[in-house]
Amino acid sequence: MITLEDIEDMTDLTREEIIAVAEHEHLPELNASILADRLMHLHHGPTRVARMIAEDIREALHNGDLDHARELYVVLRHFMEEHPDAARGAMG
């Protein structure tokens, strides 16, 4: 049987990045894995994923949850390091 971990391993994203997408879209991790993987293959998709994580950071700050905002910042920073096309996509 295929597990959630197997599906996550098939994506270009870390588990933390998938969890951030799940949080943003209010989806179970399995569905978020599929959505995030699909987005990563679309034009400007990596930019959309980065935007989701950034919006989660803003939401955490708005709610006064500094610890969660910091955790998400680390996720966003790693994402941008691994997917520099996300930043380039925002410009074009």
Question: HEC profile for 48-88?
Answer: HHHHHHHHHHHHHHHCCCHHHHHHHHHHHHHHHHHCCHHHH
Tens digits of residue pLDDT in 46-64: 999 999 999 999 999 999 9
Where is pLDDT greater, at 72 or 8?
72
Question: Among 1-5, 13-17, 47-51, where is mean pLDDT lowest?
Answer: 1-5
Nearest residue to 12 via CA among 83, 88, 89, 90: 83
d(C-alpha 3, C-alpha 89), whole Å: 32
In eight-state DSSP terms, residue 38 is H
- Report the share of the chain in percent with pLDDT over 90: 75
Which residue carries 């989701």 as its tokens?
Answer: 52
